[in-house]
Amino acid sequence: MTPMEFPKTVKLRSGKEIILRPMESGDEAALLHFFQSVPAEDRMFFRDDVTNPAVIRRWARTIDYERMIPLLAFDGDRVVADASLHRQASSWSPHVGEIRVSVATDCRGQGLGTALAREIFHLALSLKLEKVMAQMMSCQNAAMAVFVSLGFTQEAVLKSYVRDQRGAKHDLIIMMQDVEDFWKHMEDAIAESHRDSSGDYRVS
Ligand SMILES: CC(C)(COP(=O)(O)OP(=O)(O)OC[C@H]1O[C@@H](n2cnc3c(N)ncnc32)[C@H](O)[C@@H]1OP(=O)(O)O)[C@@H](O)C(=O)NCCC(=O)NCCS
């Protein structure tokens, strides 16, 4: 992984301080607890059964930052959000990364998803990626609104391409944002948020 200044503190709009840092193998239990508390209606759209301890154990034991960089957000010992940057260096698209984000319901709407997205774009920039992709099912309206607010645009719709955890088919929406354009898009928002003297975030 590239050198980064972690852990970082994010102050949510509620005033709560959240710590961001890359996932380590010792986070297995806290991450499992986080995913088990994600509402079933959100888990339905996940690719893996994240409530299965074996799935999280495999993730924790095979952390490979060349393939996927997982960032966790902590409120004390509790994981309250998970974001990751996925890439395939030896593929047709080594210049493209994929972002995935999930925030605990009681921490949503406070800028945490945006703060994590910024960190993912910092990572993308330092890894010299040019584009970041986000994939979601057509019914994930909140997710689409979030990515639009980050400057992503819809690039493709694959009809009936994905099945949710209950087996129902949905269109897959592919959204994309250029890494350079992200910073232009976020300029105003970054100017509005107040970095304190330690360089940590304060979500406005
Ligand atoms: C999508 C998700 C990560 C957003 O996290 P969050 O911490 O609530 O996001 P933020 O507070 O930073 O919101 C960013 C912007 O998105 C928009 N937004 C957020 N939630 C929204 C909603 N429910 N409906 C419409 N717009 C919404 C707003 O414009 C918001 O900016 P504002 O608060 O300044 O107006 C969270 O809702 C989640 O975990 N959803 C389930 C998992 C998922 O769908 N992940 C995305 C697929 S990778």
Domain ranges of the chain: 8-194
Give 87's Cβ-side CA count (13 Å radius): 24
pLDDT of residue 69: 94
- Confirm if 153 and 177 have CB atoms less than 8 A apart: yes
- Confirm if 56 and 31 have CB atoms less than 8 A apart: yes
Q: Helices marked H in 95-178 — which ranges?
A: 112-126, 141-149
pLDDT of residue 190: 63
pLDDT of residue 187: 79
Question: For residue 117, what are its two tokens?
Answer: 């997205």
pLDDT < 50 regions, the chain? 2-3, 197
Q: Evaluate the omega torsion of the peptide bond into residue 22 and state whether it is cis, within 30 degrees of 0.
A: no
pLDDT of residue 195: 53
CA 203 to ligand 1: nearest atom: 12
Closest Cα to atom 36 of ligand 1: 103
pLDDT of residue 197: 47
Question: For residue 29, what are its two tokens?
Answer: 């239990």
Percent pLDDT > 70 in the chain is 90
pLDDT of residue 201: 60
- For the segment(s) 8-194, the CATH number from 3.40.630.30, 3.30.70.100, 3.40.50.2000, 1.10.1060.10 is 3.40.630.30
Q: How far is the CA of 142 from the centre of ligand 1 (A)?
A: 6
Q: Which residues line ligand 1 (CB under 6 A)?
A: 42, 100-103, 108-114, 134, 136, 140, 142-143, 145-146, 149
| Beta-carbon contacts of residue 176 (< 8 Å; ≥ 6 apart) | 131, 132, 133, 134, 152, 153, 155
Q: How far is the CA of 129 from the centre of ligand 1 (A)?
A: 24
User: What is the pTM (predicted TM-score) of this model?
Assistant: 0.88
pLDDT of residue 165: 81
| Beta-carbon contacts of residue 95 (< 8 Å; ≥ 6 apart) | 128, 129, 130, 131
Question: For residue 64, what are its two tokens?
Answer: 């490979």
pLDDT of residue 193: 59
